[in-house]
């Protein structure tokens, strides 16, 4: 089964997104809302993808979360969600070489296609 982790500080959104991803046939291993929870996680190593909000606890700290995740799982696909287009923000996230960047609010059809493309061989 293809496994996903979701990182977002909005707990209600985490549940909604998790339910949707599971309805697509993927397993959501963990819903992470803060760095301490990420540090305690043992499921990152077995995840195929991480959907990371650009701002989790602080402004633009999604990159910090992605770096921490990549230390545990170098092959994980990183999908950033960002609020709006700005050249500076996009360049920051592109410098990390993510698998995808999606704009919020996340279009569910776009997310479905993204996951299918990234995880078809996972």
User: Quick one: pLDDT at residue 91?
Assistant: 87
pLDDT at residue number 120:
86
Q: What is the pLDDT along the chain (122 residues), one digit of tens a residue?
A: 799 999 999 999 999 999 999 999 999 999 999 999 999 999 999 999 999 999 888 777 999 999 999 999 999 999 999 987 777 778 888 989 999 999 999 999 999 999 999 998 65
Q: Give me the CATH topology for the region 3-119.
A: Rossmann fold (3.40.50)
How many Cα atoms within 13 Å fall on the side-chain side of residue 122? 20
- The answer to whether 54 and 93 are in contact (CB under 8 A) is yes
Q: Which two three-digit tokens encode residue 68?
A: 């921490």
Q: Domain boundaries in the chain?
A: 3-119
pTM given for the model: 0.93
Q: What are phi and psi of 72, to 5 degrees?
A: -90, -25
């Amino acid at each position: 089964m293809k496994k996903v982790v979701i990182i977002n500080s909005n707990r209600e959104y985490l549940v909604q997104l998790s339910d949707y991803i599971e309805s697509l046939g993927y397993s959501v291993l963990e819903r992470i809302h803060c760095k301490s929870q990420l540090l305690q996680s043992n499921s990152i190593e077995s995840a195929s993808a991480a959907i990371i909000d650009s701002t989790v606890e602080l402004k633009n700290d999604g990159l910090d979360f992605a770096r921490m995740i990549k230390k545990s799982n170098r092959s994980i696909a990183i999908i950033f969600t960002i609020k709006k287009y700005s050249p500076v923000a996009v360049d920051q996230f592109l410098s990390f070489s993510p698998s995808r960047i999606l704009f919020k609010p996340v279009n569910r059809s776009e997310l479905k296609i993204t996951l299918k493309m990234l995880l078809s061989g996972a």
